[in-house]
Structure 1
Amino acid sequence: MSIVNDTSEISHRRNIVPGPHRDGSRVVERRVVTIGGGTGTFSFLSHMKKYSFNISAIVTMSDSGGSSRRLMDEFRRQVPLGDLRQSLVALARNGALWREVFMHRFEQSEEMDGAEQQRGVSGHSLGNLILKGLQDINNGDLLLAIEDAQELLNTRGRVLPVTLAQTSLCADLEDGTTICGETNIDTRGNDNPNDLSPIKQLRLVPPDAAGCAQSIRAIRRADTIIIGPGDLYTSLLPNLLVHDIARAVRESDAEKVYICNMMTKHGETDGYKASDFVNEIHRYLGGRVDRVIVNNGT
């Protein structure tokens, strides 16, 4: 893992997202759409909510591990809930009791074997279970479940799935092999210190998954669209593999900003410079962003 601080061929300015603007006699909150997922988006949204923005957080729906995986295995046509939960918690107002409830994870019981743990709540995220319960209460409507969760958490902004379709993430490697499953791609470098074959192409299965209509609408109405921060291949690019979403971003008149990673990740972005991250964003977006935020420290 190394620091990404090469800023060659990248322009950057201060004041990336202006504050509220005036529409006639009214002061209107700037409409900001973030696109990402995972812990990078969680940290970013936790800070963004402190400012006067109208936030719509669009999150990836490719999670394939942990509590989300167990719910998908148990319930037919269930989509992953982990990234939605994280973003909801990030936007929760400080002091909200429900924030702590959604963050709670049940301990893994040492007295139970693996099969028994899979059948119980051991290791489950309570927030995922609540989201699943809200979805059931709303007759399977995930968007209504998210709205209910936003009310419980008193969120500063809203969270939207990039797609409502069940999808799987696959990475074709330079050596000709293919890895499927977001978790398998994300963790392949954890226990392998050796050089790994680089990712040549990222794919979504099915490739024609429709973008969530509410997410597309938010992009079209946005003043600023921010991609990142987050793992390039498992948190950011999966959103741009949803063709409706990438098209909406390309066609939007909003200012488009990419927040580049500060570090490379073994097994995904080994040896990447800042320009490599940006080039991959442009390749999968099918267009260019207007501004890039890059760490220029040492």
Structure 2
Amino acid sequence: MFDRISHKNEKLVDDLYQKEILQKGSKVVALGGGTGLSTLLRGLKLKTSNITAIVTVADDGGSSGKLRDELGMPPPGDIRNCLVALADTEPLMEELFQYRFSNEGHLVGHSFGNLFIASMSEVLDDFEEAIKESSKVLAIRGQVLPATNENVQLGAIYKDESQQIGESLIPVAGKEIDKVFLEPSNCKPSQRALESIREADLIVLGPGSLYTSLLPNLLIDEIQNEIKKSNAEKVFICNVMTQPGETNNFSAADHLKAIYDHVGDKIFDWIIVNKKEISGKSVRRYEEEGAFPVKIDYDELEKLGVKIKEEDLLAKNDDNTYLRHNPEKLANVVLNILKE
């Protein structure tokens, strides 16, 4: 009995010590959406609890799209994924938030987490407060904030001057994108997001879909301006593969140039790229979908004034499924930039 009590006390001390270490960690602001941002967050939460995830709310597909159409609220899907990524709670609670109804009926296709956030938003009449209260349920490390609380839509202007409204429809057209924009264009950001950017030691964008997950955050003028003014180290994490309908034939420098075409300034100090060679089987699988490894064009990156951090960033991929960044490797590379 005394051994069990002693073991519990030791674990409690270890947990408190770990919590204290994380609370002293670097202040990191990570912007993005989709699976890319949540992957980064899973690694960062092992190193610091001073994390702010600023998440795009331009998504209009799936469960999120249905809820925004029916309730007039910002889409909760990417928010939910980031909450789960930062969760410090029982695995069952994470599984519950990610559970998707599959039986017939009105709930089919919806995830429990999306419905929970939507319900909380209706009760509190405030989307950002709903996320804050949901964060408590999952006991997350850090905070998750919407880029804006407004129900914005993403649009694209293609090189042929045609336009498309709707985040999920933009890549489907198969046309070369010239610019993306938000409606309304004057949407206001989360004030807590702006405060987090001002206090940050490190600001990170990516990985993720360039035009539909990353740029929507920078299209909000006040967020863009706060990042430009910040003295934090600013890091762009480049995708490993090109994305059909968004970044066909893009090199690493092309990703940065597209961002700078939208924000008008060179804002990044660093670019992180993957140096691990991708197996032939994985490459062939992607080629079937029109995706290829992103070329690292060193000379062009040098012209853009960024320092290059080139590391093995990939998760183990024994079954040759889709390539993913390794969360811990990625977080280590990001945080090591502060030491340099």
User: Which TM-score band applies after superposition, normalised by the shorter structure?
Assistant: 0.7 to 0.9
Equivalents in 1 of 2:101, 2:233: separation in Å? Answer: 42
**What's the CA shift string for 1:171-209, capped at 9, x where partnerless?**
1111121111011124x16xxxxxx32101111111111
**What's the CA shift string for 1:224-253, capped at 9, x where partnerless?**
000011010110001001111101100111
Task: Find out whether 1:283 has 2:261 as its counterpart.
Answer: yes
Equivalents in 1 of 2:60, 2:220: separation in Å? Answer: 17
Deviating above 3 A after TM superposition, structure 1's stretches of 4 or more consecutive aligned residues are none
TM-score, normalisation: structure 1: 0.82
Task: Find out whether 1:124 has 2:127 as its counterpart.
Answer: no
SS across alignment from 1:156: coil
Match of 1:185 in 2: 170
Match of 1:162 in 2: 147
**Shift of residue 284, structure 1, vs aligned partner:** 2.4
Q: Which runs of 5+ in 2 are unaligned?
A: 1-20, 278-340
Contact 2:89 2:139 in 1 (8 A): no
Match of 2:85 in 1: 90
Match of 1:174 in 2: 159
User: Which has a greater percent of helix?
Assistant: 2
Task: Find out whether 1:201 has 2:196 as its counterpart.
Answer: no
**Shift of residue 80, structure 1, vs aligned partner:** 0.9
Task: Find out whether 1:242 has 2:220 as its counterpart.
Answer: yes
Match of 1:141 in 2: 126
Match of 1:230 in 2: 208
Contact 2:73 2:127 in 1 (8 A): no
C-alpha distance 124-90 of structure 1, shift in aligned 2 (>3 A): same
Equivalents in 2 of 1:108, 1:42: separation in Å? Answer: 27
> How many residues are matched?
255
Moved more, 88-97 or 201-210: 88-97
Among 218, 236, 254, the residue aligned to 1:258: 236
**Shift of residue 257, structure 1, vs aligned partner:** 0.5
TM-score, normalisation: structure 2: 0.72
Aligned partner letter, 2:185? P
Equivalents in 1 of 2:170, 2:85: separation in Å? Answer: 25
Task: Find out whether 1:63 has 2:82 as its counterpart.
Answer: no
Equivalents in 2 of 1:46, 1:207: separation in Å? Answer: 32
Equivalents in 2 of 1:205, 1:260: separation in Å? Answer: 27
Aligned partner letter, 1:63? D
SS across alignment from 2:168: helix
Equivalents in 2 of 1:122, 1:51: separation in Å? Answer: 37
**Shift of residue 32, structure 1, vs aligned partner:** 0.3
Q: Rg larger in 1 or in 2?
A: 2
RMSD of aligned residue pairs (Cα, Å): 1.6
Equivalents in 2 of 1:160, 1:35: separation in Å? Answer: 10
Q: More relative contact order in 1 or in 2 (CA 8 Å, sep 6+)?
A: 1
Task: Find out whether 1:292 has 2:271 as its counterpart.
Answer: yes
Equivalents in 1 of 2:57, 2:67: separation in Å? Answer: 14
**Shift of residue 266, structure 1, vs aligned partner:** 0.9
Moved more, 91-100 or 170-179: 91-100
Equivalents in 2 of 1:129, 1:172: separation in Å? Answer: 33
